[in-house]
Amino acid sequence: MLAAAVCAAVASAAVPVYLDDTRSLDERVDDALSRMTLEEKVAMLHAQSKFSSAGVPRLGIPEIWATDGPHGIRAEVLWDEWDQAGWTNDSCTAFPALTALAASWNPEMAHLYGVSIGEEARYRGKDILLGPGVNIYRTPLNGRNFEYMGEDPYLASVMVVPYVQGVQQNGVAACVKHYALNNHEINRHTTNVAVDDRTLYEIYLPAFKAAVQKGGAWSIMSSYNLFENTHVCHNRRLLDTILRDEWGFDGVVVSDWGGVHDTDEVIAAGMDMEFGSWTDGLSNGASNAYDNYYQARPYLERLRDGRASVDDLDRKVRRVLRLVFRTAMNRERPFGRFVSPEHSAAARTIGAEGIVLLRNEEGLLPLAEDKKVLVVGENAIKSMIVGGGSSSLKSKYEISPLEGLRARFGADNVSYARGYVGDTDGEYNGVTSGQNLADPRTAAELQAEAVDMAAKADYVVFIGGLNKAAGQDCEDSDRETLGLPYGQDELIEALAKANPRLVVVNISGNAVAMPWVKSVPAIVQAWHLGSESGNALADVLSGDVNPSGKLPFTFPARLADVGAHALGTYPGIKRADGDILDCSYDEGIFVGYRWADAKKTKPLFPFGHGLSYTTFAYGKATVEPGKDGNVAVVTVPVTNTGTRHGAEVVQLYISEKKPAVTRPVKELKGFSKVSIAPGETVNVSFPIDREALSYFDAEAHEWKATPGRFTAHIGASAGDLRAKADFDLK
């Protein structure tokens, strides 16, 4: 009888609103907040382990679990350590680096990427995926450029939105990073960026704004650096004025691991969840070091004695609860899936579509069937998944370029020579590649073997470039030079002399110098392509996939042709009174191709460049009056004049005839990737709105489009414009 009475009482009790997902999100948040103690609120604002923050067990509110991205789901680590937890079921699909995704110039690929990696995160029980990255490519020496989407704010803005939406349809929050102005890795914790407001709004913020306003991002990660002499985790202008007040962001700001430095500053700013802080509690071995985080016990003490406002606390907790209801307590989210055939196919498709054919003299590529191919180079066999910093992965498998080419052309037709020895390490944070790349031979011996074998082959495919060792494509370090490491330039020159049918495949997330460019008939930019790297490369080299990738950043002919280096502002000047380095972005809005245009320098390969195994002809551009708020519509016919089906990225650049303020020679304001059959003509149209014609007026703090005459330039790259048409803004 007693048990029955208890059950009846429980059944008749009102269900808390926060458990009733038929109520509005804000109603559920407010109800949950009203039931929480001060201690429970504070506990939600800081880490309880390396990658999780506390929920409220008493109320059934679960923990929040984050995972590193943006190229795959990081292996599990121990509760308090970076060391591996030793799981045997946490080997993920490694997707191509974001430079490869950006090089596809295809928003459909971005959505496929987001959905696929979101499914893997959901399957592993993660609530926040720490990615994608959209920091602008300011210098080719930045070790973390491979995690970003290139030099142009428009391209990055278009590509980030479907990625975010794809991730979040799985009930996993995309955490867009690193907000903001984290444009190099060296001294990243101590670099104070000085940038004018026009440059900030036109170049470095648009992709973050698009992720928030168009992508609906549920979380943002604040960066390590300082802006206006304040660490970004404490920066009220970036986190409150711009992100929340101007853009309407209602999600959570997550600190980068160890990015918080002061309790009073961080609780006053719009930073919500603190991770990775190295506090006195950690160094002194407190029983629960996480209680000593800046937003933990120190915050609680300030709340209890009145130094901190409970209203400010509640604003932070509301945002965290909103994230919980969107993710961990979202009963509509799917179950996800992990290392599925569909994810392998997605990785292969995205990788192949992002590969860029830089040069192809006399149609050397694609490789002919039944020929003897010599593959040379360490990157043909080296794992590119382990290493590089927090994006290092433990993958279920990795098809190397050599394996992919042998699978496609036959093992008997593809031989291999090492050529050079670079980085032989294959370990990062306890994950090992399982490779032993040590080679006792001298550089001269390795080169002699490769050259001898090259003379006897029908084709030579050199696969080199950078790797993910410190000082190359790697977090927390930058490159020292634009050149290739390990004596690769000398080896390539020798191979070119031994066999004129040479293909150089550069695997990197950065531009590199190519002093041998005129000696090599075919050059391919292959990026870090993940689990399906070898298959994706073989698809393109064989012609099974017609290359359609375009460069998302400029390949400069020399480092002095980059604004940050020409002006000597990279990486900054150390202050006499401390460790802070001041880095002034004196090139302003002239980043990438904008700088090359202004200085009339010819790059090695221009922004947007990429060839095909077919050819495309552009017809005459026409202009029609705009509708639905557009100023004009520009249309150009594009014809496939070759013999293969192919895809072309048609690019729209806008210039102003007589600008009232200093403006770039031209700016990317539209693109369309169109698939065209041989002999077919497709009309590609670009509606142009006032936003495409606007600049940011810093004094008035608003976007302005001044009446005048503009030119729409349409072409295959920033350096290959094929058609143009003038129009007026009344």
Encode 79-98 in three state secondary structure.
CCCCCECCCCCCCECCCCCH
3-state secondary structure of 254: strand
Query: Is there a single domain that holds both residue 290 and residue 347?
Result: no
CA distance 539 to 536: 5
Task: Say how far apart CA 113 and CA 117 lie, in whole Å.
Answer: 6
End-to-end CA distance of the chain: 83
- 443: in domain: yes
* Beta pairing, strands 502-507 & 522-525: parallel
- Whether 247 and 348 map to the same domain: the answer is no
Ordered mean pLDDT values, 10 residues apiece, the chain (730 residues): 47 74 95 98 96 97 96 94 93 98 98 98 98 98 98 98 98 98 97 98 98 98 98 98 98 97 95 86 58 94 97 98 98 96 98 98 97 98 96 98 98 98 93 94 98 98 98 97 98 98 98 98 98 98 98 98 98 94 98 98 98 98 93 98 98 97 98 98 98 98 97 98 97
Residues 465 and 542 in one domain: yes
Show which of 326, 353, 388 is a domain's final residue: 326
Helix (H) or strand (E) holding 709: strand 708-717
Shared-domain flag, residues 688 and 727: yes
The range of the structural domain enclosing residue 492 comes to 341-553
Residue range 154-168, pLDDT digits in tens? 999 999 999 999 999
| Tokens linked to 475 | 């977090």
CA distance 503 to 543: 14
d(CA 592, CA 150): 9
Identify whether residues 236 and 356 lie together within a single domain. Answer: no
User: Distances in Å between the alpha carbon of 422 and those of 173, 249, 505, 725?
Assistant: 38, 45, 16, 50
Q: What share of the chain is helix, strand, coil (3-state, %, to 5)?
A: 30, 20, 45
Q: How far apart are CA 180 and CA 205, in angstroms?
A: 7
Query: Sign of torsion, CA 116 117 122 127?
Result: negative
Q: Are residues 17 and 146 in the same domain?
A: yes
pLDDT for 4:
52
Cα gap 213→595, rounded to integer Å: 29
What pLDDT shows up at residue 287? 53
> Is the distance from CB of 47 to CB of 28 less than 8 angstroms?
no
Separation of alpha carbons 218 and 512, rounded Å: 36
Q: Which residues are catalytic?
A: 256
DSSP code per residue over 543-594 = TSS------SS-B-SSGGGSHHHHTT-SS-EE-TTSS-EEEE-TTTT--THH
User: Of 326, 352, 372, which marks where a domain is finished?
Assistant: 326
Q: Is residue 592 part of a domain?
A: no
Residue of 110, 128, 122, 130 lying closest to 179 (CA atoms): 130
Which CATH number covers residue 58?
A: 3.20.20.300
CA–CA distance, 534 with 408 (Å, rounded to integer): 10
Structural domain contains residue 607: no
Are residues 230 and 377 both part of a single domain? no
Query: Last residue of a domain, which of 291, 326, 361?
Result: 326
| Within-domain flag for 583 | no
CATH of the domain at 659: 2.60.40.10
pLDDT at 31: 97
List, in sequence order, every residue forming a beta bridge with 713; answer none if it has no partner: 653, 724
Q: Would residue 534 count as lying in a domain?
A: yes
* Domain identity same for 111 and 249: yes
Domain count, the chain: 3
- Answer whether residue 522 is part of any domain: yes
Based on the fold, state whether residues 382 and 513 are members of the same structural domain.
Answer: yes
Separation CA 723–CA 725 (nearest Å): 7
**CA distance to 25, 352, 710, per residue, from 166 (Å):** 21, 20, 36
Max CA separation in the chain (angstroms): 95
666 Cβ partners below 8 Å, 6+ apart?
A: 597, 653, 654, 655, 713, 718
Dist. CA 32–CA 329, nearest whole Å? 12
* Per-residue tokens: 455: 């003379």
Identify whether residues 443 and 317 lie together within a single domain: no
In a domain, 590, yes or no: no
What integer best gives the mean pLDDT of the chain?
Answer: 96
* pLDDT reported for residue 11: 44
In a domain, 576, yes or no: no
CATH number at residue 363: 3.40.50.1700
297 and 355, same structural domain?
no
373 with 518, same domain: the answer is: yes
Q: Helix 533-542 crosses helix 341-354 at what angle (to 10 degrees)?
A: 50
